[in-house]
């Protein structure tokens, strides 16, 4: 009898454990995010977490159309200098504070004026706000800004509780308070980020999980093994080399979307004394390194041709791509000639790369190619957050790093290439480039904007603070019990309508 009761109890506990597991969606991330503060952060995986944590003023569709979110409607003044937004009246932050026009004003002020904010260049055109009433706000601009709506569809539009940001200051990222479908529960660095469903979320009926746990698993093989073992339900950035294997596995699903961004080599040209190298000081050396790289071969060797070779912040399929500066063919002789002209034959450079094995493979291929031109590359692998921190501080020579891409082309170039750009870790500065990229921001005419970007690219092809290498395809692998997931070209994981058996 005792054994029977124990068996029944054990069975009940197993059923309970099974139910809890099913109610917790577990997602494997390729890296551990940096600080979870939209104003301070910069990692791609951080944005994946924000998609479940912090709703934005506006959203995008998979076709990149901007649609309402926390803002229900908006209107521009005739001169394009004032944006009036109507806001939802049924939203509360995770701490119970109301979301309203005053909260939007406070968020914009923080993005503009917090000394540590990385959003400054994205909202630079905003000169002030006017709270018309509780759910209507006017946003005044210094000049017409074609990019601002796309910024509000990203971190600059993520709404944080003003009470929490005031009370926590720079520590806000340790326990962020937003207005998204899940609230922050805990974080163990390099191990997990746990979010819990927010009962008062205005779209709660679209959320089918009690919690979502993000697990940083940097090794691609281990991440896929965790999915196959059932320890996670979904992984992001499945390696291109694993696509065929996953497609052949009946227990798994695969989803793909072409990326908006790029991967490349960011070069320190003016960020501390680490820039005082032949590579940092002479654009001819940077051009030589670029010419030593066979981008098509790199794509075939590392990615089995699944990705796209590239030489610009926009992929060749983008309407913003500058066709007058196509992907250069590899030319080792020309690379050697440029090095000789610069007096920099047989130089050594240090390239830092994340501990992600695929990123390591990319740099190893570049290393072998560069060696044939007389450029010796020393590879230093670092945990991704450390890499970013040292890059920001100028404690690097070259970083193999990329950008996940933005809906508006401005997001892929302005903040990296302007003198005061928020993520300009090269510290590259050319007033002529600033003028062209600023001009592109102020026009809503596509042809005018394209001409400005093309002119800027003509200069950047010579100066080359970033050597672009390729454009990736976002690839997700999922347990076949997961349904309702929609792939987006921004690479985010949106959980509205997603469910799992």
pLDDT of 159-171, one tens digit each? Answer: 999 999 999 999 9
How many whole angstroms separate alpha carbon 426 and alpha carbon 380? 18
Q: What is the pLDDT of residue 317?
A: 79
Chain center to CA of 272: 25
Reading phi first (left if > 0) and then psi (alpha if -120 to 50, else beta), residue 175 is in beta
Residues 6 or more apart whose Cβ sits within 8 Å of residue 159: 54, 55, 56, 57, 70, 93, 99, 103, 104, 107, 178, 179
Q: What is the pLDDT of residue 84?
A: 98
Contact of 210 with 182, CB cutoff 8 Å:
no
Out of 166, 192, 213, a domain closes at 166
Pairing of strands 24-29, 211-216: parallel
DSSP class of 123 = S
Q: Give domain status of residue 8, yes or no.
A: no
Residues 450 and 431 occupy one common structural domain: yes
Which of the four pLDDT bands, split at 50, 70 and 90, describes residue 68?
very high
Q: Give domain status of residue 46, yes or no.
A: no
Mean pLDDT in residue range 71-88:
96
Angstrom CA distances, 129 to 28, 80, 139, 175, stand at 40, 15, 5, 27
Is 20 a residue whose pLDDT tops 80? no
Residues 436 and 288 occupy one common structural domain: yes
The tally of domains found in the chain comes to: 3
Residues 222 and 157 occupy one common structural domain: no
Mean pLDDT in residue range 228-253:
95
Residues 267 and 320 occupy one common structural domain: yes
Residues 282 and 423 occupy one common structural domain: yes
Contact of 400 with 356, CB cutoff 8 Å:
no
Range of the domain at 251: 16-35+170-259+474-500
Which of the four pLDDT bands, split at 50, 70 and 90, describes residue 200?
very high
Contact of 181 with 207, CB cutoff 8 Å:
yes
- Lowest-confidence region among 6-20, 214-228, 249-263: 6-20
How many whole angstroms separate alpha carbon 357 and alpha carbon 220? 7
Residues 340 and 451 occupy one common structural domain: yes
* First-to-final CA distance of the chain: 35
Residue 65 tokens, joined: 């159309």
Contact of 369 with 361, CB cutoff 8 Å:
no
Is 316 a residue whose pLDDT tops 80? yes
Residues 278 and 391 occupy one common structural domain: yes
Which of the four pLDDT bands, split at 50, 70 and 90, describes residue 477?
very high
Contact of 433 with 418, CB cutoff 8 Å:
yes
Is 15 a residue whose pLDDT tops 70? no
Mean pLDDT in residue range 270-295:
97
Mean pLDDT in residue range 147-167:
96
Q: Exposed/middle/buried for 7, CB within 10 Å: 0-12, 13-18, 19+?
A: exposed
Residue 367 tokens, joined: 């290393």
Q: Exposed/middle/buried for 496, CB within 10 Å: 0-12, 13-18, 19+?
A: middle
Q: Tell me what percent of the residues of the chain surpass a pLDDT of 90.
A: 86
Residues 146 and 182 occupy one common structural domain: no
358 sits in which H/E element = helix 357-371
Q: Which residue has the tokens 């924000």?
A: 50
Q: What is the pLDDT of residue 17?
A: 39
Q: What is the CATH number of the domain that holds 253?
A: 3.40.190.10
The predicted-structure confidence for 411-434, as pLDDT tens digits, reads as follows 999 999 999 998 999 999 999 999
Out of 166, 187, 215, a domain closes at 166
Q: What is the pLDDT of residue 10?
A: 39
Out of 151, 166, 181, a domain closes at 166
Q: Which residue has the tokens 């694993």?
A: 242
DSSP class of 292 = T
Q: Give domain status of residue 5, yes or no.
A: no
Residue 493 tokens, joined: 């994981």
Q: Give domain status of residue 47, yes or no.
A: no
Which of the four pLDDT bands, split at 50, 70 and 90, describes residue 238?
very high
Q: What is the pLDDT of residue 300?
A: 94
Mean pLDDT in residue range 100-108:
98
Q: Give domain status of residue 10, yes or no.
A: no
pTM of this structure? 0.76
Is 14 a residue whose pLDDT tops 60? no
The predicted-structure confidence for 352-398, as pLDDT tens digits, reads as follows 999 998 999 999 999 999 999 999 999 999 999 999 999 999 999 99
Is 22 a residue whose pLDDT tops 50? no
Residues 370 and 387 occupy one common structural domain: yes
What does the mean pLDDT of the chain come to? 93
The predicted-structure confidence for 33-59, as pLDDT tens digits, reads as follows 999 999 999 999 999 999 999 999 999
Residues 442 and 383 occupy one common structural domain: yes
Q: What is the pLDDT of residue 501?
A: 85
How many whole angstroms separate alpha carbon 180 and alpha carbon 177? 9
Mean pLDDT in residue range 281-285:
98
Residues 65 and 136 occupy one common structural domain: yes
Q: Give domain status of residue 292, yes or no.
A: yes
Is 144 a residue whose pLDDT tops 50? yes
Chain center to CA of 60: 15
How many whole angstroms separate alpha carbon 194 and alpha carbon 198? 13
Residue 226 tokens, joined: 């965790």
Q: What is the pLDDT of residue 63?
A: 83
Coil/strand/helix, residue 393: helix
Q: Give domain status of residue 381, yes or no.
A: yes
Q: Give domain status of residue 76, yes or no.
A: yes
Q: What is the CATH number of the domain that holds 310?
A: 3.10.105.10
Residues 238 and 127 occupy one common structural domain: no
More confident residue, 467 or 356: 467
Which of the four pLDDT bands, split at 50, 70 and 90, describes residue 5?
very low
């Amino acid at each position: 009898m005792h054994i029977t009761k124990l068996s029944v109890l054990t069975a009940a506990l197993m059923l309970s454990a099974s139910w809890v597991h099913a109610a917790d969606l577990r997602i494997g991330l390729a890296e551990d995010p940096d600080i979870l503060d939209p104003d301070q952060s910069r990692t791609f995986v951080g944005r994946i977490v924000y998609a479940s944590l912090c709703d934005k003023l506006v959203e995008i569709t998979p076709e990149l159309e901007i649609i309402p979110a926390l803002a229900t409607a908006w209107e521009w003044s005739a001169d394009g200098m004032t944006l009036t937004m109507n806001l939802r009246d049924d939203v509360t932050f995770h701490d119970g504070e109301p979301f309203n026009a005053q909260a939007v004003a406070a968020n914009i002020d923080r993005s503009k004026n917090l000394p540590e904010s990385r959003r400054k260049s994205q909202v630079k055109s905003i000169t002030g706000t006017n709270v018309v009433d509780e759910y209507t706000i006017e946003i005044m601009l210094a000049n017409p800004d074609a990019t601002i709506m796309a910024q509000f569809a990203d971190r600059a539009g993520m709404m944080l509780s003003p009470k929490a940001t005031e009370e926590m200051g720079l520590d806000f990222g340790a326990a962020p308070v937003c207005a998204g479908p899940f609230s922050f529960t805990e974080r163990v660095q390099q191990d997990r980020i746990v979010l819990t469903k927010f009962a008062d979320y205005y779209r709660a009926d679209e959320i089918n999980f009690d919690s979502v746990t993000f697990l940083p698993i940097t090794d691609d093989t281990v991440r896929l093994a965790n999915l196959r073992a059932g320890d996670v339900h979904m992984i992001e950035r499945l390696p291109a080399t694993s696509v065929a294997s996953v497609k052949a596995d009946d227990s798994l699903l695969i989803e793909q979307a072409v990326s908006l961004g790029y991967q490349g080599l960011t070069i320190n040209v003016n960020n501390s004394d680490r820039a005082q190298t032949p590579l940092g000081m002479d654009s001819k050396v940077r051009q030589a390194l670029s010419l030593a790289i066979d981008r098509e071969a790199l794509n075939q060797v590392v990615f089995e041709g699944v990705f796209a070779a590239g030489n610009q912040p926009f992929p060749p399929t983008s309407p913003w791509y500058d066709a007058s500066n196509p992907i250069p063919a590899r030319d080792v002789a020309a690379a050697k000639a440029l090095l000789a002209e610069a007096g920099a034959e047989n130089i050594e450079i240090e390239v830092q790369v994340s501990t992600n094995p695929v990123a390591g493979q990319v740099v190893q291929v570049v290393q072998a190619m560069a060696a044939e031109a007389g450029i010796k590359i020393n590879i230093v692998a670092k945990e991704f957050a450390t890499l970013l921190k040292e890059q920001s501080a100028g404690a690097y020579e070259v970083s193999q790093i990329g950008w996940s891409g933005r809906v508006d082309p401005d997001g892929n170039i302005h903040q990296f290439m302007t003198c005061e750009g928020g993520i300009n870790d090269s510290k590259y500065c050319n007033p002529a480039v600033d003028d062209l990229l600023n001009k592109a921001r102020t026009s809503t005419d596509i042809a005018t904007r394209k001409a400005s970007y093309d002119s800027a690219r003509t200069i950047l092809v010579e100066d080359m603070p970033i050597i672009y290498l390729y454009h990736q395809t976002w690839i997700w692998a999922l347990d076949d019990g997961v349904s309702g997931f929609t792939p987006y070209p921004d690479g985010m994981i949106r959980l509205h309508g997603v469910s799992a058996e």
